[in-house]
Structure 1
Amino acid sequence: MSDLINDDGQSIIDGLDDVIAFNNGDQNAARLIPWQAPTSVDVRAIRNKLGMSQKEFAARFGLKLASLRNWEQDKRVPETATRVLLTIIDREPDAVKKALAIG
């Protein structure tokens, strides 16, 4: 049967085996890869990519217009959660629009 499983499939199976072992108490079974939020985001580039004014962008994604302006002028840096949101908006704007139930 192993001939029928490609490398990606085997990787998934190995990962699931690790999760099962970890859940059964084997603390060494799973590799924890630390995730770190982006340290910076180019807010203006994200907004321009979507073809939106500052006012439109702020309203569409529930951001304060003054904060948006400060980020774009490098007067302030978005907090961690906001950097994550902006990264998702940059990579998957339609998913964010869908999740927020906006046109």
Structure 2
Amino acid sequence: MTKAGNDILSGANEALEFLRGDPKKGRANKIINTIIDVKSIRAQTGLSQVDFAEAYGLSVHSLKKWEAGKRNPEGAAKAYLTVISKRPNVVREALEGL
């Protein structure tokens, strides 16, 4: 069996032992999925959708979808918007001249 195959099998066995009650085997992660209010983040800046997208290097199309609730930002976009919500001026300063 390949190394990848052995790793998968080993992980599956650890998961099974964990499910059977052995807390020393495997690990569990709690994932909290929070939805961020993109419209309120933009409103805090006082910028239009187009100006906000341009200022922070985002797609106007994505911004409109997020604000309408048709999609939710994920991964790096979600993290980036969270930083913008906390420190919008710092982000804009960092992006100046790019």
Q: Give the TM-score of the pair, scaled to structure 1.
A: 0.60
Instruction: Report how far residue 37 of structure 1 moved.
Output: 8.0
CA gap 1:38/1:51 in 2 versus in 1, 3 angstroms: farther
Q: Structure 1 counterpart of 2:84, which letter?
A: I
Find 2:81's aligned residue among 74, 80, 86.
86
Q: Is the 8 A contact 1:37 1:80 kept in 2?
A: no
Structural mapping, 1:1-103, within 5 Å: 39-101=34-96
Q: Percent identity?
A: 41
Structure 1 unaligned residues grouped into runs of 5+: 1-33
RMSD: 2.2
Instruction: Report how far residue 98 of structure 1 moved.
Output: 1.5
After TM superposition, the runs of 4+ consecutive aligned structure 1 residues lying more than 4 A away are none
Q: Aligned residue pairs: how many? A: 69
CA gap 1:71/1:88 in 2 versus in 1, 3 angstroms: same
Structure 2 unaligned residues grouped into runs of 5+: 1-28
Q: Give the TM-score of the pair, scaled to structure 2.
A: 0.63
CA distance in 2 between counterparts of 1:49 and 1:38 reads: 23
